[in-house]
Structure 1
Amino acid sequence: MTLAAEAGDVADLHQRIEDVHALYWADRYDSVARQLPALLKATEVAAATAEGNQEKRDAIKARTFSLLLAGKYLTQVRQYDLAYHALSESIRLARETGQQLTAGTGIVGMCWLLLRQDRFDESEALALQTAEAMEPRVSSAQPSELAVWGELWLRVASATVRNNRPDDAAVARRMAGTAASALASERNSFPNHWGGFGPITAEMKAVEDLALDGDARGVLRRADEGVLGSKALKALGKPTAPNWGRHRLDVAQAHVALGSHQDAMSELVGLRESNAAWLRHQPLARYVMSDALKSRKRTLTAEMRDMASYLGVF
């Protein structure tokens, strides 16, 4: 078999990337793990053997996107060294070939990786520098440009709020809000966006700040109102499953803080039904379950025991 035959058609590679990303969104991580090595090899060969300017560009894009996808998956399953390598290579290729928006998407992902490692200063600096370099003209920008720019500001906000700098976080949230207000709906197509962005996502992340600040009543007050209400969700489109799941974990944590253990369990059960594999990889889910077990005065229900076992809390 020749290298070109091993790579396959470039258009087919792009479709395979979309299909594997769909598996990622569906929390089918085992399937992603099985398919990624062959996909990465195929795109590597395609980029090395493609002939003709257009075919070469398309092959390098496929290689860039496959590395971006690998970095996304590896960060989610906490293989941080491998994720860093994949994201770095994706950003490098994107920059070298003029894929500036894709490079920005990769940097959003890199900032997420740094946040998960508690490297807040580095995440903030990288996101801020990139956001300032990519700042679009809001009145004429493409939705994808606004979405990546907005995601970068979300990363700045996440880093600064975790670094106990609420004033700087508020500024970053306002910048993200500017991008979100210019979008008529949620944007989440890969690879133009990392984790999705829009009015709903921006509001969920603002509620996340309240959760980090320990304002449980504030979380519950805003969790299902306004932009996060059912009517707005229908009008603006649902956010990505991971973003929505993180928001509902904030709601569950608020319920536990106020002693509403059954309401918290309802949130966890709902997430297990819709995003079981994702839930298992969330430290916050384990924290919520642990807090519920510690603070509950009555005998644990069978549902609580089952959930604690599923999350590995016992």
Structure 2
Amino acid sequence: MSSLSENVRNHRRRVGLSQEGLAEEAGLSVGVIRKVEQGGNVQVETLHMLARALGTTTSSLFATEAPEPVHVNAGDGPKLTELRRALMPPVGLIETLAEPEQVMPLPAIQRDIDDSHALYHADRYDSVAKRLPGILRGAEAAVTFSEDDEARQEALAVRANAFLLAGKYLTQIRRYDMAYYALSQGIRDARETGRKYVAATGVVGMGWLLLRQDRFDEAERLAAATAEEIEPRLSTATPGQLAVWGELLQRVASAAMRNNRPDVAKEARRMTATAASALDVEHVNFREHWTTFGPVTAEAKVIEDLSLIGDARGVLHRADEGVVGRKALKKYGRPSANNWDRHRLDVARAHALLGSHTDAMDELNAIKRSSPEWLRHQSMARYIMGDILTGRKRTLSADMREMAVHLGVGG
């Protein structure tokens, strides 16, 4: 096993750089390099900058150390108990413990899934959490008590949708082990029923999960292989098929960019733009694909790449131009709330990097007004707020104090 500090030190020595030389190449302070090589905590964004300076992939710097002990009070406690029971029921020598009275008509379960998607994208996470156990139990019972193979196939298709909804919610709230289980089960159910594009949209979700776990190599390979498998003929493709393909290409680009593979990312973004331009507008159909996809989403992700490499001026230059400009949104349609809010977080980060704390707070407050619960789950928001608190020389304004409390960031 090797630690992060050892990996960075070994790569630095291999390319013949001193700590001062690496700091200059990476655009970081010598203090940050020393902190990393002494075993201090570091953001993944900092590792991206080190990887570019060292000419290696970000994942090659990751540690393979044993984890710290889990504290007794860590975990969710009773908050997700019912969802955990419904998602991962006990399994013994007989079928899982579903009850006949839990069987619901499949159309009713699917309506609950559709309604829960709407709640999720309306930032009503508590409502989604309350609905999910009943949805999952109903879908499980429908599969268990199917009368024949045809009925079982239909039930499996609905259960796949239920699992993918659970995976989306659990990834968003960073319960990654539960999310992995839900997504993998959803993909398997969709594959078993021959619903290739439903399975592919599950892969989009799996790619998001892997990105959040900094598993960049795996995210890129999985998304690339799936995108190749489902690549549509542009002249005959449906909007849903184009959206799933485009979403997968976005996962390829995001993983490659984070892993310091800019050439791969650039090509994937080019292909994503092809898929988006074939749609003309933002397309949304959560039964067909993971989220909204179209020209605005594709451009927002290009801007995200600029944010990732620390090009704050580049972010601000493109943020209100072209298809992401507020006037153009009337023509192309708005992306999902999550994608748009993430884009505006990139804008807020750019302002913070340039010392424009008032502008950064304007962006954070706008997101808080529309998506307060989503914002609480965003580590980038906490990083931005932490930078504002650290760099602020004057007394904090009232909205800065309120935002710090909302995000759980200490001053």
TM-score, normalization: structure 2? 0.74
> Which stretches in structure 1 are left out of the alignment for 5+ residues?
none
- Partner SS, residue 208 of structure 1: helix
- Shift of residue 51 of structure 1? 3.4
Query: Cα deviations across residues 15-72 of structure 1 (Å, max 9, x unaligned)?
Result: 0111111111122212211211111010011122233565443322211100000111
Equivalent residue number for residue 158 of structure 1: 254
Q: Structure 1 or 2: larger helix share?
A: 1
Give the letter aligned to residue 316 of structure 2: L
Matched, 1:220 2:319: no
Q: Residues of 2 paired with 1:81 and 1:290: CA distance?
A: 28
The 5 Å alignment of 1:48-87 reads 48-51=144-147, 55-87=151-183
Contact 2:276 2:293 (8 Å CA) reproduced: yes
Match of 1:268 among 350, 364, 384: 364
- Shift of residue 10 of structure 1? 1.1
Bigger drift between 183-192 and 149-158 goes to 183-192
- Partner SS, residue 328 of structure 2: helix
Contact 1:105 1:191 (8 Å CA) reproduced: no
Q: Residues of 1 paired with 2:302 and 2:127: CA distance?
A: 33
The alignment-based identity, stated in percent, is 59
Match of 2:274 among 178, 183, 197: 178
Q: Residues of 2 paired with 1:49 and 1:116: CA distance?
A: 37
Give the letter aligned to residue 230 of structure 1: R
Matched, 1:120 2:189: no
Q: Residues of 1 paired with 2:326 and 2:123: CA distance?
A: 24
Equivalent residue number for residue 129 of structure 2: 33
- Shift of residue 4 of structure 1? 5.0
Q: Residues of 1 paired with 2:303 and 2:175: CA distance?
A: 28
Match of 1:13 among 89, 92, 109: 109
- Partner SS, residue 327 of structure 2: helix
Matched, 1:142 2:234: no
Matched, 1:234 2:330: yes
Q: Residues of 2 paired with 1:291 and 1:188: CA distance?
A: 35
Bigger drift between 209-218 and 295-304 goes to 295-304
Q: Residues of 1 paired with 2:131 and 2:309: CA distance?
A: 40
Q: Residues of 2 paired with 1:35 and 1:15: CA distance?
A: 12
- Partner SS, residue 138 of structure 2: helix
Contact 2:351 2:360 (8 Å CA) reproduced: yes
In the comparison of the two structures, how many residue pairs are matched?
313
Equivalent residue number for residue 301 of structure 1: 397
Contact 1:187 1:193 (8 Å CA) reproduced: no
Equivalent residue number for residue 43 of structure 1: 139
Equivalent residue number for residue 194 of structure 2: 98
Q: Residues of 1 paired with 2:300 and 2:191: CA distance?
A: 31
Q: Residues of 1 paired with 2:368 and 2:276: CA distance?
A: 29
- Partner SS, residue 235 of structure 2: coil
Give the letter aligned to residue 222 of structure 1: R
> Which stretches in structure 2 are left out of the alignment for 5+ residues?
1-97
CA RMSD of aligned residues (A): 1.3
Q: Residues of 2 paired with 1:254 and 1:86: CA distance?
A: 35
Contact 1:7 1:46 (8 Å CA) reproduced: yes
Equivalent residue number for residue 191 of structure 1: 287
- Partner SS, residue 182 of structure 1: helix
Query: Cα deviations across residues 265-299 of structure 1 (Å, max 9, x unaligned)?
Result: 01111111100000000000001111111122222
Give the letter aligned to residue 148 of structure 1: V
Matched, 1:132 2:228: yes
Equivalent residue number for residue 256 of structure 1: 352
Contact 1:10 1:55 (8 Å CA) reproduced: no
Equivalent residue number for residue 21 of structure 2: none
Contact 2:240 2:285 (8 Å CA) reproduced: no
Contact 1:136 1:145 (8 Å CA) reproduced: yes
- Shift of residue 231 of structure 1? 2.6
Larger radius of gyration: 2
- Partner SS, residue 230 of structure 1: coil
- Partner SS, residue 186 of structure 2: helix
Give the letter aligned to residue 356 of structure 2: S
Q: Residues of 2 paired with 1:221 and 1:53: CA distance?
A: 57
Contact 1:187 1:198 (8 Å CA) reproduced: yes
Match of 1:89 among 185, 209, 217: 185
- Shift of residue 230 of structure 1? 2.1
Give the letter aligned to residue 325 of structure 2: G
